[in-house]
């Protein structure tokens, strides 16, 4: 009994030692294997959700692929030519670019002073910080729907009936092309200014207070302090915030779609809406893909320009 | 001199307080409008949109809570968000760990590919991905939606790797000498160590996934599968003649978002700043 008990015990010890030895050997050279194993899932994601679809989009953009018909013909640049000859599609491109640029400028111009004030003491500061930030938290689609009731061009629309009680004429907010574009931009600024002020605030709070103390002792005015201390310290935040704004602005879809449905006419159509409507709803995969390719190129150009501007700015101030 | 400065500071404090109070209230008008409208009748909402209700009506809430589509949409959104975010964070953090395990031609290549993926706007993959989902029979399924959201792993990876690179490597070396394999080190040492960034990423991605409209709108066609945002969007069409009902559903849907915001505000800000450091 004792022997039989002992024998497996020895065996287990041996097996354990034997198992441990090669494992240690593998471990020494095994980081490469482990590393590849850990990278596998993201490579799968990259392949399935990014690489293959992008290649397909580029390919479709040169074909007349309709999704339904089995025959796919190579049509060269026909889809691209069609886009540049279709005013309704160009309007979408124009509005998307206008939206990205104006929201970036307006939000930056408002968020910096807002952050400076939010960084100073006043009554109800915590509440103000939270509220400005909170309006950017709900889904953009829901925000768009809420504002649709407010900007409703009917006399019963919230803002219009308020104007009428003040004795003012009602305004065709979402029924007029230019006004509708303004409304989409306005709501985007309303929703995002708090987020970006918060971003600037985080950088403001990192500025050492003795910089300001020293400056006041040296007799610098508040204005001088702002331009010579605060602004240079905010340059990194400016680079980041404007990057987020411009890339996010180019991708606008939910807000405009919920607020105006893209109308009136094509006034607030965004590229994303057109890719979805022309490409998927109307089964014109070729045209939709060509739009997507143009959009991607536009994004890359804008992002490169933005990065270049930001680097130049950062270099000047550091 | 000192007293005049103090007086001036007191005055500017007062001015700031008044101006900011006014601005904050102005910002809050749309929120006030939604909440106050949910307690009104249709006629009341049309005649005095910004006034207090003539009589406080609670039936809108009763019928919103009786609306099973609203409850089901919460269930759907929770499923999609939980699975979507867990897998995103898992894949992203695994990739980051795989990258710091060693540097080789492979890791350099993967790093470059992921930067590329990060630059690709969602719009450029939308048509092929929709086609893929319909070929796999995943249209109108929550699984199909979750698969699409795995793309968020790339963003998670970028946030996490920045943090992981700052970990003390001696700690991982010591664990290795003590006999822990790479998987154990990842699970028992690395993940607990990067908890702050994990929470940030989870909070940030939860918000993004919960709020998404594009993909649910494209993929989900039946009422039983709708996510919360899609449910609100459809309520808009459904209650064209019953605005207060729409406002009530909006309030009900925004309550969890508001609670989430209250508890996670500092993590959302952290994500905003962390994401910006990387950008």
ipTM score of complex = 0.88
Please answer yes or no on whether B211 and A49 come within 8 Å at the CB atom: no
Whether B149 and B26 map to the same domain: the answer is no
Mutation target to probe the B interface, by most B beta carbons within 10 A, among A21, A58, A132, A149 is A149
Whether B26 and B155 map to the same domain: the answer is no
Whether B252 and B151 map to the same domain: the answer is yes
More confident residue, B46 or B213: B213
Q: Is the distance from CB of B40 to CB of B250 less than 8 angstroms? A: no
pLDDT at A7: 35
More confident residue, A220 or A7: A220
Mutation target to probe the A interface, by most A beta carbons within 10 A, among B5, B8, B20, B106 is B20
Domain count, chain B: 2
Of all residues in chain B, the one with the smallest CA distance to A247 is B121
Domain containing B45 equals 2-59
Residues of B in contact with A27 (CB under 8 A): 176, 181-182
Please answer yes or no on whether B126 and A293 come within 8 Å at the CB atom: no
In the structure, what pLDDT confidence band is assigned to residue B234 with cuts at 50, 70 and 90?
confident
pLDDT at B278: 44
Please answer yes or no on whether A124 and B24 come within 8 Å at the CB atom: yes
pTM: 0.86
Whether B46 and B70 map to the same domain: the answer is no
Q: How does pLDDT run across A184-225, given as a tens digit for each residue?
A: 999 999 999 999 999 999 888 888 888 888 888 888 888 888
CATH code for the domain of B128: 1.10.3720.10
Residues of B in contact with A117 (CB under 8 A): 16, 20
* Domain end residue (candidates: B44, B59, B74): B59
Mutation target to probe the B interface, by most B beta carbons within 10 A, among A61, A69, A139 is A139
Whether B54 and B67 map to the same domain: the answer is no
Please answer yes or no on whether A31 and B101 come within 8 Å at the CB atom: yes
Please answer yes or no on whether B46 and A124 come within 8 Å at the CB atom: no
**Residue A23 reports pLDDT greater than 60:** no
**Residue B92 reports pLDDT greater than 50:** yes
Please answer yes or no on whether A46 and B33 come within 8 Å at the CB atom: no
Whether B90 and B141 map to the same domain: the answer is yes
Measure A171 CA to nearest chain B CA, in Å: 16
Q: What does the mean pLDDT of chain B come to?
A: 88
Measure B180 CA to nearest chain A CA, in Å: 9
Mutation target to probe the B interface, by most B beta carbons within 10 A, among A67, A107, A137, A281 is A137
Whether B38 and B82 map to the same domain: the answer is no
Please answer yes or no on whether A60 and B128 come within 8 Å at the CB atom: yes
Whether B141 and B43 map to the same domain: the answer is no
Whether B6 and B44 map to the same domain: the answer is yes
Measure B275 CA to nearest chain A CA, in Å: 9
Helix (H, G, I), strand (E, B) or coil at A29: helix
The arithmetic mean of pLDDT across residues B222-239, rounded, is 86
Measure B56 CA to nearest chain A CA, in Å: 19
Whether B138 and B195 map to the same domain: the answer is yes
* Domain end residue (candidates: B17, B40, B59): B59
CATH topology of domain A78-317: MetI-like fold (1.10.3720)
In the structure, what pLDDT confidence band is assigned to residue B276 with cuts at 50, 70 and 90?
low
Whether B84 and B16 map to the same domain: the answer is no
Q: Is residue A112 packed enough to be buried (19+ CB in 10 Å), middle (13-18) or exposed (0-12)? A: buried
Residues of B in contact with A303 (CB under 8 A): 119
Please answer yes or no on whether B269 and A133 come within 8 Å at the CB atom: yes
- Give the lowest-confidence range in A48-57, A202-211, B20-29, B200-209: A202-211
Residue percentage of chain A with pLDDT more than 70: 90
Of B30, B107, B213, the CB nearest to A35: B107
How many contacts (CB atoms, under 8 Å) link A and B? 264
Whether B52 and B113 map to the same domain: the answer is no
pLDDT at A69: 67
Q: How does pLDDT run across A279-299, given as a tens digit for each residue?
A: 888 888 889 999 999 999 988
Measure A6 CA to nearest chain B CA, in Å: 27
- Give the lowest-confidence range in A133-142, B13-22, B38-47: B38-47
Measure B273 CA to nearest chain A CA, in Å: 6
Please answer yes or no on whether A42 and B24 come within 8 Å at the CB atom: no
DSSP characters for chain A? -HHHHHHHHHHHHHHHHHHHHHHHHHHHHHHHHHHHHHHHHHHHHIIIIIIHHHHHHHHHTTB---SSSS---B-TTHHHHHHHT-HHHHHHHHHHHHHHHHHHHHHHHHHHHHHHHHHS--TTHHHHHHHHHHTTSS-HHHHHHHHHHHS-SSTTSHHHHHHHHTTPPP--GGGSHHHHHHHHHHHHHHHHHHHHHHHHHHHHTTS-HHHHHHHHHTT--HHHHIIIIIHHHHHHHHHHHHHHHHHHHHT--HHHHHHHTT-STTTT--HHHHIIIIIIIT--HHHHHHHHHHHHHHHHHHHHHHHHHHHHHHHHH-
Measure A228 CA to nearest chain B CA, in Å: 22
Of all residues in chain A, the one with the smallest CA distance to B275 is A240
The arithmetic mean of pLDDT across residues A240-262, rounded, is 89
């Amino acid at each position: 009994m004792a022997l039989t008990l002992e024998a497996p015990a020895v065996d287990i010890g041996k097996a354990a030692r034997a198992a441990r030895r090669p494992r240690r050997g593998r471990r020494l050279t095994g980081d490469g294997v482990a590393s590849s194993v850990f990278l596998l899932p993201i490579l799968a994601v990259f392949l399935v959700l990014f690489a293959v679809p992008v290649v397909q989009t580029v390919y479709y953009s040169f074909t007349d692929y309709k999704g339904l018909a089995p025959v796919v013909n190579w049509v060269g640049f026909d889809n691209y030519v069609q886009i540049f000859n279709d005013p309704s599609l160009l309007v979408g491109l124009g509005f998307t670019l206008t939206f990205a640029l104006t929201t970036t400028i307006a939000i930056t111009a408002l968020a910096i002073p807002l952050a400076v004030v939010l960084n100073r003491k006043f009554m109800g500061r915590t509440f103000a910080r939270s509220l400005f930030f909170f309006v950017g938290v709900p889904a953009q689609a829901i925000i768009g729907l809420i504002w649709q009731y407010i900007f409703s061009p009917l006399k019963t629309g919230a803002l219009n009936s308020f104007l009428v009680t003040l004795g003012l004429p009602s305004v065709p907010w979402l029924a007029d092309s230019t006004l509708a574009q303004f409304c989409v931009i306005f709501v985007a600024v309303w929703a995002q200014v708090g987020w970006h002020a918060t971003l600037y605030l985080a950088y403001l709070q990192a500025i050492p207070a003795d910089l300001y103390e020293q400056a006041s002792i040296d007799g610098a005015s508040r204005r001088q302090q702002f331009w010579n201390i605060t602004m240079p310290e905010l340059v990194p935040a400016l680079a980041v915030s404007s990057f987020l704004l411009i890339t996010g602005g180019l991708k606008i879809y939910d807000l405009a779609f919920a607020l105006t449905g893209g109308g009136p006419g094509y006034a607030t159509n965004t590229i994303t809406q057109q890719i979805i409507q022309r490409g998927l709803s109307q089964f014109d995969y070729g045209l939709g893909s060509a739009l997507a390719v143009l959009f991607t190129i536009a994004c890359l150009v804008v992002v490169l320009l933005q990065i270049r501007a930001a680097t130049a700015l950062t270099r000047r101030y550091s | 001199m000192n007293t005049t400065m103090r007086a001036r500071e007191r005055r500017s404090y007062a001015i700031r307080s008044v101006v900011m109070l006014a601005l904050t209230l102005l910002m809050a008008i749309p929120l006030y409008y939604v909440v106050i409208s949910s307690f009104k009748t249709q006629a009341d909402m049309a005649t005095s949109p910004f006034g207090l209700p003539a009589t406080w009506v609670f039936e809108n809430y009763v019928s919103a809570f009786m609306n099973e589509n609203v409850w089901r949409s919460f269930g759907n959104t929770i499923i999609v968000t939980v699975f979507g975010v867990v897998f995103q964070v898992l894949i992203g953090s695994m990739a980051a760990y795989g990258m710091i395990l060693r540097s080789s031609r492979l890791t350099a290549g993967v790093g470059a590919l992921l930067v590329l993926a990060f630059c690709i706007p969602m719009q450029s993959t939308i048509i092929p991905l929709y086609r893929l989902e319909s070929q796999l029979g995943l249209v109108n399924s929550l699984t199909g939606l979750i698969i699409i959201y795995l793309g968020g792993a790339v963003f998670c990876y970028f946030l996490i790797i920045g943090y992981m690179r700052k970990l003390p490597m001696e700690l991982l070396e010591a664990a290795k000498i003590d006999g822990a394999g790479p998987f154990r080190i990842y699970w028992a040492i690395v993940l607990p160590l990067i908890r702050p960034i994990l929470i940030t990423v989870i909070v940030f991605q939860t918000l993004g996934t919960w709020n998404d409209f594009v993909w649910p709108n494209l993929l989900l066609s039946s009422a039983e599968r709708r996510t919360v945002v899609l449910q609100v969007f459809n309520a808009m069409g459904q209650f064209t003649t019953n605005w207060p009902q729409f406002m009530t559903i909006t309030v009900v849907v925004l309550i969890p978002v508001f609670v989430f915001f209250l508890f996670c505000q500092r993590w959302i800000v952290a994500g905003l700043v962390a994401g910006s450091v990387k950008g």
